[in-house]
Amino acid sequence: MPSECIPFRETNYFSSFICDYLDQKPELKEFYHRFPTIENFKDQIAEKEASFPEKNRKVLKQILQAQYTSVDSTQLTQDHISRLSDDTTFTITTGHQLNLFTGPLYFLYKIISTINLTKELKKEYPLYDFVPIYWMATEDHDFDEINYFNFKGKKIQWNRKDGGTVGTFDTNGLDTVFEVFSTEIGLGQNAERLKSLFKEAYLRHSNLSDATRYLANELFGDYGLVIIDADDKELKQVYVPFMKKELVDQVAYDSVMSQAKKLDDKGYKVQVNPREINLFYIIDGLRERIIQKEDNYYVNETEIKWSKDDLLKELSEFPERFSPNVIMRPLYQEVILPNLCYIGGGGELAYWLELKEYFNTVKIPFPILLLRNSVLIQTEKQVEKIKKLKMTNTELFLKQHEMINRKVRQISDIEINFDPQRKHLIEQFKALYILAEETDVTFLKAVKAQEVKQIKGLDALEKRLLKAQKRKLKDHVKRLAIIQNTLFPNQSLQERTTNFSEMYLEYGEELIPMLIEKLDPLKSEFIIVKQ
């Protein structure tokens, strides 16, 4: 299956912030540590090797082995977990919410980018081992973002009461979702495999964290993926000194705010803003932020209250009740993992780029930041239709009205371009301007107004001609719209809307091996995979 690439900037779906990062614009250099090239990992390895405590490795290995007790993991995954206690083993990490049935396609691309990078690193640095990590966002509490997935234009949704961390949600009610999905998916070997995956994940496991681990392990266990649930008392015990510093000194706020201001001054959109305290408190289905008022601490919108000493005692005895927000989660990751690189989407990298000064302040190495692979998959039939319509990759990514206008101009047997007439009109008015300069200013203004009016008239006529040709070529226009709507559902990237199940129906067990083969994590371009 061939593949082609297009620069991220030319897709018009990625922010100038991320495109400038990929282009290594000098104005962004201070916001990251090392750019993701294979050569730069040499120094990243040395820095992490010198700074990561051996005791943290032991805790990490112990907790992961405990989390995998009831998981039918592959030998490669087991080996990866065992090697994490070695000081020559490092991780490459991606993170994602616990979206129902993986959510959008880019869930796959994140993990495949991570797996493939570990392979590249092993080739370049054979004396070291590299473990792909999927960090489950089990402490997230935004249920509305994860309680559905799209299947062939329909929203398949899990309706249940919200509240607390999503990883602990029981899976009650997902039998109803399974019935809906089974009805929609149809018959066939690939359909049966998908139904089995859903049933085993969500109807045989009691909470969303275990269900997601099962599903990710089934999809990627053969590649040695290690899945971590960091909502764990022992892992958070390792993080206690940093949470204590946050509660007492509130170091994240000043350092992140200063970086955010610098980015704003450079014209970049600030992705997230820190709070004075960037920790939540978790108890009895509640996850609410901690705030300070004068000398006391409170859990927002509750009656829970502590003095400083009582709060620090609570942290020491029950670290599992404290949960990092979006600002402190990246630091938590880098404290408990021997990590070299974080792989994420554009929005994720945008907020990571606010954090380097914070990492410097607390003396933790800042990881390499890599934009995950982005992919557009085209089936054999779609490739044939695109070829017949004589569409280029760049044209596919245009806004629909721009794409249709361009193609109509190309295929029309009438020239829909009044540029020669505009040029002729401008030449005619040059003589009038010479004449106007010999009279008074009112005549000069009249000439200018008439020129504007005439050019606007030509613009209007050109638009009417284009509209008329669209009507004449309506069948072709319809086919153009259909193929783009199929590949870009809701005028959005396929990977941000479509669930992997649609592709699995088409490709079956070949889907993930195909993507493993085609995705190059260090190639900073959008990939188009064709059958």
**What is the tens place of the pLDDT at every residue in 476-516?**
889 999 999 999 999 999 999 999 999 999 999 999 999 99
Task: Note whether 332 and 461 are same-domain residues.
Answer: no
Q: Assess whether 351 and 420 both reside in one domain.
A: no
**pLDDT over threshold 90, residue 260:** yes
Of 125, 137, 161, nearest in space to 39 by CA: 125
Burial class (CB in 10 A: 0-12, 13-18, 19+), 145: middle
The encoded tokens of residue 254 equal 């000043």
* Same domain for 134 and 31: yes
- Cα separation, 203 vs 173, in Å, equals 9
Which has more pLDDT, 466 or 118? 118
pLDDT confidence bin for 417, thresholds 50/70/90: low
Number of separate domains in the chain: 2
For residue 283, what pLDDT is reported?
93
Largest Cα–Cα distance of the chain, in whole Å? Answer: 93
Alpha carbons 366 and 369: distance in angstroms, whole number: 9
User: So what's the pLDDT on residue 413?
Assistant: 59
At 170, the pLDDT band (50, 70, 90 cuts) reads: very high
Give the model's pLDDT for residue 96: 98
Q: In angstroms, rounded to a whole number, what is the distance separating the alpha carbons of residues 256 and 272? A: 9
Strands (DSSP E) contained in 191-278 are 226-229
Give a yes or no: residue 385 inside a domain. Answer: yes
Model confidence band, residue 449 (pLDDT cutoffs 50, 70, 90) = confident
Tell me the pLDDT tens digit for each residue of 118-166: 999 999 999 999 999 999 999 998 999 999 999 999 999 999 988 889 9
Write down the pLDDT at residue 524.
Answer: 93
Cα(228)–Cα(57) distance, integer angstroms: 14
Task: Please give the pLDDT value at position 65.
Answer: 98
In a domain, 458, yes or no: yes
**360/467 same-domain check:** no
Per residue in 276-317, pLDDT (tens digit) is 999 999 999 899 999 999 999 999 999 999 999 999 999 999
Q: Which of 94, 81, 333, 337 is nearest to 226 (CA)?
A: 81
- pLDDT value of position 405: 82
**Which domain, by its residues, includes 452?**
380-497
Q: Do residue 354 and residue 441 come from a single domain?
A: no
How confident is residue 414, by pLDDT bands cut at 50, 70 and 90? low
DSSP 168: G
Helices in 125-227 by DSSP H: which ranges?
Answer: 174-185, 189-198, 208-220
Q: What is the DSSP string of 443-504?
A: HHHHHHHHHHHHHHHHHHHHHHHHHHHHHHTHHHHHHHHHHHHHHSGGGS-GGGTBBHHHHH
Residue 92 in domain: yes
CA dihedral defined by 5, 8, 10, 16, rounded to 10 degrees? -170
- In this structure, the answer to whether residues 333 and 401 fall within a common structural domain is no
Q: What amino acid is encoded at 388 in this protein?
A: K
Looking at residue 415, its pLDDT comes to 64
Q: What is the pLDDT of residue 404?
A: 86
| Residue linked to tokens 């008392």 | 233
Residue 124, helix vs strand vs coil = helix
Which amino acid is it at 213? R
SS (H, E, C) 499-531: EHHHHHHHHHHHHHHHHHHHCCCCCCEEEEEEC
Percent of the chain whose pLDDT exceeds 90: 83
The pLDDT tens digits for 72-109 are: 999 999 999 999 999 999 999 999 999 999 999 999 99
Looking at the structure, tell me whether residues 99 and 219 fall in a common domain: yes
Look at residue 410 in the predicted model and tell me its pLDDT. 79
Cα atoms found within 13 Å of the Cα of residue 92, Cβ hemisphere only: 30
* Cβ contact 191:182 at 8 Å: no
Classify residue 14 by its DSSP letter. Answer: S
**Between 274 and 162, whose confidence is greater?**
274
What b/e readout covers 35-72, taking b as 16+ CB neighbours within 10 angstroms?
A: bbeeeebeebbeebbeebeeebbebbbebbeebbeebe
Are the C-beta atoms of 125 and 45 separated by less than 8 Å?
yes
Instruction: Assess whether 478 and 394 both reside in one domain.
Output: yes
Task: Inform me whether the pLDDT recorded for 1 exceeds 60.
Answer: no
Provide the strand spans (E) within 284-415: 286-293, 296-299, 305-307, 322-324, 339-344, 368-371, 375-378
Give every CB contact of residue 460 below 8 A, 6+ residues apart in sequence: none
Model confidence at 466, in pLDDT bands (50, 70, 90)?
low
Q: Yes or no: say if 489 and 498 are a contact pair by the CB < 8 Å rule.
A: yes
Predicted confidence at residue 462, as pLDDT, reads: 62
DSSP structure class, residue 102 = G
Residue 465 has pLDDT above 60, yes or no: no
Helices and strands: H and E segment counts in the chain: 23, 15
Is 306 contained in some domain? no
Domain assignment of residue 148, yes or no = yes
Over residues 463-483, the mean pLDDT reads: 78
Out of 3-17, 192-206, 216-230, 409-423, which region has the weakest mean confidence (pLDDT)? 409-423
- For the residues 350-372, what does the mean pLDDT come to? 98
One domain, residues 422 and 525: no
Q: Tell me whether residue 315 is in a domain.
A: no
Q: Are residues 331 and 395 in the same domain?
A: no
Q: What residues contact residue 257 under an 8 Å CB cut-off, 6+ apart?
A: 273, 274
CB neighbours (10 Å) of residue 515? 26
Rounded to an integer, the average pLDDT of 41-58 is 98
Q: Is the pLDDT of residue 450 over 90?
A: no
Q: Looking at the structure, do residues 68 and 195 belong to the same domain, yes or no?
A: yes
What radius of gyration do the chain's Cα atoms show?
28
- Nearest residue to 162 (alpha-carbon basis) of 180, 181, 177, 147: 147
- In angstroms, the CA 509 to CA 518 distance is 15
Write down the pLDDT at residue 528: 97
Residue 399 pLDDT grade (very low, low, confident, very high; cuts 50, 70, 90): very high
In a domain, 337, yes or no: yes
Angle at 451 between CA 449 and CA 456, to 5 degrees: 95
Q: Are 388 and 372 in contact (CB under 8 A)?
A: no
pLDDT at residue 421 greater than cutoff 80? no
Residues 62 and 125 in one domain: yes
Tokens of 124: 């370049």
The CA–CA distances, whole Å, from 119 to 91, 113, 185 equal 12, 10, 35
**What is the model's pTM?**
0.91
In a domain, 275, yes or no: no
